[in-house]
Amino acid sequence: MSGNTQPAMIDPFGRHVTYLRVSVTDRCDFRCTYCMAENMTFLPRKDLLTLEELDRLCSTFVAKGVRKLRLTGGEPLVRKNIMSLVRNLSRHLETGDLEELTLTTNGSQLAKYAKELADCGVRRVNVSVDTLNHDKFRQITRWGNLGKVMEGIAAAQDAGIGIKINAVALKDFNDRELPAMIEWAHGQGMDFTVIETMPMGEIDADRTHQYLPLSVLREQLEEQWTLRDIPLKTGGPARYVEIAETGGRLGFITPLTHNFCEGCNRVRLTCTGTLYMCLGQDDAVDLRAPLRASESDELLTRAIDDAIGRKPKGHDFVIDRTAKPSVARHMSVTGG
């Protein structure tokens, strides 16, 4: 029996906001070169919302019509006692107020938590894997161990969790490897999504050298496979095709060549309680102050309504050799 009593969250462009992505930590046990600088300065732990506060915030959004909740980071599974939050949030699955509780992970901690995640009602997770070459994996993640990630994927599948592999398409790094990676994923019963590199935060590399338009990748894939557009919607920004030869699904996330803003149903909450209405814009609303100002949710609800009323039509991502990143904050701050 649903307990939702709040009016729906509808932005100025008539889009229903039903999907909340929550960065539970800005910390990560990898340092992926397109995402972070090697020597990152992370938030002091005292600045983070407690897990209880995150639960209250998420629950307020569920009461206001959020149907899909994704935990992200950084790496969400490195947050201390994170499973207590997952277990608490799973109560909304049991009431039917929430349709899906999921997370995006680098897979490093998945072997440890897969069974418990499944017990909490997590039915699928996204795992970021940019190469199947062990040396290149260490190179791109700086600190990562591909073998450990593969163990995590196997453990999740054994627990009955569906896996979608996410890979950032990087020119002259994994572009030639992507067809083999897609075949591997589909052979293991996993969906696969490719993502254009996003201009967020100062990193050590030049993103203009990394950038591979997915329109080019699709043309290359169509030389060897039959790609058929399908109307699949998973709540996120990917556009999907089915590959006849592999029998699997392939998603394209294209913030640069073809933005996905017209159907955006998402907002993003950081681990400090800042709500970003758009991944590619800096406008944000502080929810920590109203959360802590009162035990009643009235101030919090009002702040959320104000935020949704300011959700922009779209983002302004651009890759340019001379320009700074479109958005100064790192992806790990807002959540992947």
Q: Which residues are annotated as a binding site?
A: 21, 28, 32, 34-35, 70, 74, 104, 128, 164, 198, 261, 264, 266-268, 278
279 CB neighbour count, 10 Å cutoff: 24
178: nearest Cα among 197, 193, 156: 193
Both tokens assigned to 213: 């338009």
Give the list of residues 6+ apart from residue 323 with CB closer than 8 angstroms, or none. Answer: 199
Q: What are phi and psi of 138, to 5 degrees?
A: -65, -40
Instruction: Mark the binding-site residues for S-adenosyl-L-methionine, compressed into ranges.
Output: 34, 74, 128, 198
- Which residue ranges make up the annotated binding site for GTP? 21, 70, 104, 164, 266-268
- Rounded CA-CA distance 227/9 in Å is 36
Number of alpha helices (DSSP H) and beta strands (DSSP E) in the chain? 12, 12
> In the block, which residue shows the tokens 């935990």?
71
Peptide bond into 336 cis (omega under 30): no
Torsion angle defined by CA atoms of residues 168, 257, 27 and 61, in that order, rounded to the nearest 10 degrees: -120
Is residue 249 helix, strand or coil? strand
DSSP 37-63: -SS--PPPGGGSPPHHHHHHHHHHHHH
Q: What is the DSSP letter of 7?
A: P
Token digits for 242? 């089915």
Decide: helix, strand or coil at residue 209.
helix
d(CA 132, CA 150): 10
Q: Whole-angstrom Cα distance, residue 274 to residue 182?
A: 36
Calculate the dihedral angle through the C-alpha atoms of 251, 253, 257, 261, rounding to the nearest 10 degrees: 120
**Residues of each annotated binding site for [4Fe-4S] cluster:** 28, 32, 35, 261, 264, 278
| CA–CA distance, 34 with 173 (Å, rounded to integer) | 12
* Amino acid at the residue 326: S
